[in-house]
Structure 1
Amino acid sequence: MTHPSKVPANPWLVLAGLSLGVLVTNGFGRFAYGLILPAMRADLDWTYAQAGWLNTANALGYIAGAVGTMLALRRRGPAGLFALGLAVTAVALVATSALPALWWQSLWRFLTGLFGALSFSTAGALAARLWADNPRLNALGIAILFGSGGGSAIVLCGATLPPMLAAWGDGSWRWAWVIVGVLSLAMAPLGLWAARRAPVPPRREVSAPPLPSGRMLAEYAGYAGFGLGYIVYLTFLSAWMKEQAASPLQVALVWVLLGGCITLSPMLWRGVFARHASGRPLAMVLSGIALGSALPVLWPTLPGLVVSAVIFGSCVFMAPSAVTNFSRKNLPPESWGSAISLFTVVFAVAQTIGPYAAGALGDLTGSIGTSLLAASAILLAGAAVAALQKPL
């Protein structure tokens, strides 16, 4: 078994670099599409099902990447996998702009998911060793990793892409991907540096005891509900707002609020994560996401959308933090990477179904709002199951 390396002199700078990796692979790689989707759908004459399919392709890649990470961690350390995923994701985002054909878009959405999963699955294991002897700082660091990375990406995209697409026209969706890709390439060096400087978690040996998966079923099931439900909101929120004749500035406002609340959410949840080793934090997070998903339909005005963005943003990126914290509190360090990868596989499989099914339901009913309500119901079911998880 390898021994963990020493904590770096400036763990906050290392955490910032790892967060930039999450910003690129999870924020830009997965959620920028929700803002660019309305322009692509209008310019390319896609149905909701076709638009949803691209995020399903992304989720299929995510499954492959999560499974690959789980297997690779038995032979390789997480730092190299994180770096590879970050570098290829940045290139893939630029390549998305090249051709409008559905097969081309599907290919690069798939590859973005595949390599994004390499980074996302290993980021938590790298960050979890930065303050291994300080549970409160450790919980805060993990929450910041997922919250600030994804939230900052949504703020950047929300503030720029809707006004740009409105001013330049639907055909400018290619330039949106160029901008996102170039920003990703610019942020990659600090992320790559952080991967080299992060403490190395003990490697899980091939002969190590298996994970106690049977005793973690409620946490797995809750996280599956998260994967199935949350992605509907982030894929189709802008499309729903367009159905309601929202202006580009209103879309930008809602997304900036959403991203800002995601960035601040670690401060709201750090105490919860520090106190609980059960499934209660995940159940609380999923309940908030469910409420935020339903509000745009139940209260379809700008104030309702603002409240929805605040609630959803305050909760959504805390689901990965919840399962990372659960793994850290209940499992030995050499099992953290494998456990987080397995959670990511469960999440990715569930996430695959959500976008296409939500798009098809929106085509069937004539409104994507129906899909937002269905997603809310699934998230509430996941919260109920997660609440049953006991500490190991």
Structure 2
Amino acid sequence: MTQAQKRPWLVLAGLALGVTVTNGFARFSYGLILPAMQSDLGWNYAQAGWLNTANALGYIAGAILTMLMIGRYSATSLFSFGLVTTNLALLATGLSAELWWQTLWRILVGFFGALSFSTAGVLAAGLFPNDPRRNAMAIAIVFGTGGGLAIVLSGASLPLFLEHYGADHWPLAWVIIAAICLLFLPLCLWSAAKLKSPAPKRAEAAKPLPVSQIWAQLAGYAGFGLGYIVFLTFLSAWMTQQAASATFIAAVWILLGLCICMSPLVWRPILARHASGLPLAMILSCIALGSALPVLFPGNLSLLLAAVIFGLSVFMAPSAVTNFTRQNLPAHSWGAAISLFTVVFAVAQTLGPYAAGLLGDLAGDIGISLLGASGLLLLGALIALTQRPLPNHPVTGNTKPGKPE
């Protein structure tokens, strides 16, 4: 019996903490530090959005490289390398305020983070191989609890830290984040090593993916990439525009993170039961509602409700496509399929922050961008809803497309 079989929940914790680093701190702490950076450096919304677009450009490159390398190198190696280098890139982010320096390291944070984030799902899909419900829970915990923990920790500390010490202390915030991530590294690397995911055989890796049969799921995931990032990038900036206090901003982010951590419990039954695009469509609809609520119904109560709805859904989109992959494709295709989904998502999310920032500058209100993002998410949900289980998919053994689940 392997260590992953003896201690599956400890191994799962290590994978989840890896996502805490590469998907939580590396990508979403920026939204909390952004108001201080804007204040100290005099950035407009387009400049602020550009740095997340730069991060997304790096993410595209990392996702494409992962898709090319997953047939030659094990998921374990790619996960571990991406994790260590992401940590180093986070530290470098706090060393200079120059825009070119910030652009460089936001690109590299995205690039290295994609290597680790893409393969975390592949590794998690190998846990509890004979128990679909536990496997669905494991995948959901990796993406949900892993990412949510970073938002709880960031939300509880960064706004109050920056209010107390001043906006000019934002570089120190990045250094502190890097130090916290360093504490997580040993367990993360141990977990990846215990899973020992082998590189696929060349003959298996060469088989093409059935893209024509999964296009609706891919398109729905593209809608997720376009829409979700706007809320997480500009939430704090919009709340600051509405004269919200640092304490209330922190409370909203803590609530958001706690709901993300709890989201696996909410979605596990749906993810385990359905091999179609229905879970992704439901998740995108909830994210869209959460994005639009604070703008349509301004007020503190609306913001708290939006944090709950958005938080319970946002990190379940990667879980939905990972479960879809596991349920519909053979094991040797998981790495390539999840990498393809990640590339599509990465390309889509590149367009979101900068376009939303430009729209916010033109309108003089970033809330307009939140509404636009909500519309894109709903469009993605409608497309994902048309996705049916693949013929002969491994979970239910359907032999006809569209057979009821």
- What is the TM-score normalised by the length of structure 1? 0.98
Amino acid at match of 1:361: L
Match of 1:248 among 238, 246, 265: 246
Alignment of 1:8-87 (within 5 A): 8-87=5-84
Code of the aligned partner of 2:338 = I
Seq. identity, %? 63
The one of 311, 314, 319 aligned to 1:313: 311
1:191 correspondence with 2:196? no
SS in 2 for 1:315: coil
**Deviation at 1:7?**
4.3
Deviations 1:181-231 (A, max 9, x none): 110111111111111011526615256320001100000000000000000
Match of residue 143 from structure 1: 140
CA–CA distance in structure 2, aligned partners of residues 79 and 261 of structure 1: 29
Letter paired with 1:156: L
Counting matched residue pairs gives 389
Q: Which 4+ residue blocks in structure 1 deviate beyond 6 angstroms?
A: none
How many Å separate the matches in 2 of 1:381 and 1:156?
32
Alpha-carbon distance in structure 2 between the residues aligned to 1:225 and 1:136: 27
Residue correspondence of structure 1 range 205-216 to structure 2 within 5 A = 205-206=202-203, 208-216=206-214
In the alignment, the residues of structure 2 paired with residue 102 and residue 308 of structure 1 have an alpha-carbon distance, to the nearest angstrom, of 32
Match of 2:312, SS state, is: helix
2:352 aligned with 1:358: no
CA deviation profile, 1:4-42 (whole Å, cap 9, x unmatched): 978431010000001110000000000000000000011
2:400 corresponding residue in structure 1: none
CA shift in 2, pair 1:134/1:356, >3 Å:
same
1:175 deviation in Å? 1.1
Quick one: distance in 1 between partners of 2:83 and 2:203? 26
Q: 1:272 aligns with which of 270, 273, 281?
A: 270
Q: Deviations over 1:158-190 (max 9, x none)?
A: 000000111111101011101111101111111
Structure 2: stretches of 5+ with no match in the other structure:
391-405
Aligned residue among 327, 342, 345 for 1:344: 342
Alignment check: 8 A CA contact 2:2 2:194 kept = no
User: What is the distance in 2 between the residues matched to 1:114 and 1:209?
Assistant: 26
Q: 2:305 and 2:131 mapped to 1: Cα distance?
A: 34
**How do residues 89-100 of structure 1 correspond to structure 2 at under 5 angstroms?**
89-100=86-97
Which region of structure 1 is more displaced relative to structure 2, 112-121 or 199-208? Answer: 199-208
Instruction: State the alpha-carbon separation in 2 of the partners of residues 239 and 346 from structure 1.
Output: 27
Distance 1:204 1:114 in 2: 26
Structure 1 Cα separation of the partners of residues 201 and 278 of structure 2: 28
SS of equivalent to 2:202:
coil
CA distance in 2, matches of 1:215, 1:342: 14
Preserved contact between residue 147 and residue 260 of structure 2 (Cα < 8 Å): yes
Q: Residues 10 and 18 from structure 1, CA distance in 2 versus in 1: closer, same or farther, beyond 3 angstroms?
A: same
Deviates more, 1:205-214 or 1:272-281: 205-214
- 1:84 is aligned with what amino acid? F
Instruction: Give 3-state SS (helix, strand or coil) of 1:277's partner.
Output: coil
Separation in 2 of the partners of 1:205 and 1:258? Answer: 43
Corresponding residue to 1:117 among 114, 117, 128: 114
How far apart are the structure 2 equivalents of 1:206 and 1:301?
Answer: 57
Q: CA contact under 8 A between 2:12 and 2:142: conserved in structure 1?
A: yes
Give the structure 2 partner of residue 220 of structure 1. 218
Q: Which amino acid aligns with 1:279?
A: G
Q: Alpha-carbon deviation of 1:300?
A: 1.6
Contact 2:31 2:236 in 1 (8 A): yes
Report 1:370-381 matches (<5 A): 370-381=368-379
Q: Does 1:203 align with 2:193?
A: no
- Which blocks of at least 5 consecutive residues in structure 1 are unaligned? none
Query: What is the letter of the counterpart of residue 177 of structure 2?
Result: V
Partner of 2:237: 239
Whether the 8 Å CA contact 1:49–1:363 is kept in 2: the answer is yes
SS at match of 1:36: helix
Give the Cα separation in 1 of the matches to 2:3 and 2:176: 37
Contact 1:204 1:335 (C-alpha < 8 Å) held by counterparts: no
1:91-129 deviations in Å (ceiling 9; x for gaps): 111110011010000000000000000010000110111
Report Cα offsets for 1:230-287 as digits up to 9, x if no partner. 0000000000000100000000000000000000000000000111000000000000
Amino acid corresponding to residue 69 of structure 1 in structure 2: T
Letter in 1 for 2:220: G
Cα RMSD after superposing both structures? 1.2
1:390 counterpart residue number:
388
Given that residues 229 and 352 in structure 2 are in contact (C-alpha distance below 8 angstroms), is that contact kept between their aligned partners in structure 1? yes
Are 2:186 and 1:178 aligned? Answer: no
